[in-house]
Structure 1
């Protein structure tokens, strides 16, 4: 069986992108259900799939992360990878779906888990906001957010959280730097009425396709307001994703032995040893 890709809420399990996209495993309310129920669920996933990659937003309640670490520790398993990249909820849902696409290919669990870090570089995630008064998760230049808070009521703001923080006040000359390669766009509407994303941003970024999905429940908390329209551009084609992952050099984790991309194993958390500063012993 292929590696299981799990998410912590149903709205993070986007509809399949193609016929090969595997379904997501939804771990419902892991911080509220009895511990033994969650343990049994994860143990069954490991037995059925061999390895499990849990894609989890940094906006989830702290209890969710604690429970996942507790389960992993009790099971004493390095077959569960907890992946929590710095992406807004919609961008994270897109990344989880890309991993579900790649899970149907001949990629080892370690390479698949490592691919998540690689693919984040090709995701542009942002939002149109009705307020930036509580925008705390996007590291825009010092003073810019404070200045934006003084702008007149009714203003709207375009924000990019990843890969490069940006903040502009929406007007005739508003521009946000976007991807320099062909992408598709997902759109999720909150309590904000505007066609700026579809009428101005998407054409300026030359997106090849645009679809709407329900707004993730965690989005309002992540962006600091419910008056938003969240958007995300991504690489939709499985062949392109597979080529990207296949073009990167693979290493064997020196601790657990699985193949990985990069210098850190997502499953056992071991980092590649450094030999540069080791003491040179004299010969003889």
Structure 2
């Protein structure tokens, strides 16, 4: 069985790209699932899949992260990886689907968990917003820019890989965002803002091959600071391309937990890549 991919919210589960894409397990938070039931849920996943990778957005409630660490501690398992991501909700859902696709391949659990950081750099996640007054998760120096902007304006915002903001239709400068230099698919989720800018202006300039619409994640208005938005995420959608990307990175062995990894940090124990022997002073938080 492939490594299990789990999420902390059903918002993070997009429809599969093909029939072979494995599903994701949803682990509800402490407000809706008692601890003993949560333990049983994860134990069952471990028995069926051997290893579990849980994707938890950085914006998730602190109680949700505490629950995950509590479950891992009580199960005394080193086969549970907790992957945090700062991507906005739709971008995080795209990352989860990519991990689901790759989980059916020949990658070890350690490579799969550490691949999340690599894949994040290839997800162009943003939104069109009707207001940026409460946008505080994208460091684009808004204070010096919003003064003098009239009500009713629309803004294109990119959260990553490189944060950026433009005023759409301002006539005073570029009104597009710098996108990927490779062919992508675009996932689109509409909130309470009427605009076709992502499909009519952004998609052609970003070499978008196909556009898929989905429901707006429940957490998106809170993340972006307004319900007047259209969220989007351009990404690599083809499994062979994703497989080649991950395969091209040199594999290492974690000096702490001995899991295989790519990049500079273990996806399971969070230890940084090092050739030195671990000591009590340098041991990562488990």
Q: Structure 2 length normalisation: TM-score?
A: 0.92
After alignment, is 262-271 or 195-204 more displaced?
A: 262-271
Contact 2:29-2:67 within 8 A present in 1 as well: no
- Partners of 1:73 and 1:93 in 2: how far apart? 26
5+ residue gaps, structure 2, are 277-286
CA 1:225–1:146: 2 relative to 1, 3 Å: farther
RMSD: 1.4
5+ residue gaps, structure 1, are 276-284
Correspondence 1:152 to 2:153:
no
Superposition deviation, residue 147 in structure 1: 2.7
Alignment partner of 2:234: what SS?
strand
Contact 2:29-2:63 within 8 A present in 1 as well: no
- Partners of 1:206 and 1:251 in 2: how far apart? 34
Q: 2:70 aligns to what? A: 70
- Partners of 2:126 and 2:200 in 1: how far apart? 16
- Partners of 1:136 and 1:163 in 2: how far apart? 17
Superposition deviation, residue 72 in structure 1: 1.2
Alignment partner of 2:57: what SS?
coil
1:22-54 deviation digits (Å, cap 9, x = unpaired) = 011111234432111111111111111111111
After alignment, is 41-50 or 29-38 more displaced?
A: 29-38
Q: 2:40 aligns to what? A: 40
- Partners of 2:111 and 2:237 in 1: how far apart? 19
Aligned 1:129-278 pairs, distance under 5 A: 129-141=129-141, 144-148=142-146, 150-171=148-169, 173-273=174-274
Aligned 1:10-21 pairs, distance under 5 A: 10-21=10-21
Alignment partner of 1:139: what SS?
coil
Q: Structure 1 length normalisation: TM-score?
A: 0.92
Q: 2:82 aligns to what? A: 82
1:216-237 deviation digits (Å, cap 9, x = unpaired) = 1111111111110000000010
Superposition deviation, residue 120 in structure 1: 0.8
- Partners of 1:155 and 1:274 in 2: how far apart? 53
- Partners of 1:234 and 1:260 in 2: how far apart? 23
Q: 1:281 aligns to what? A: none
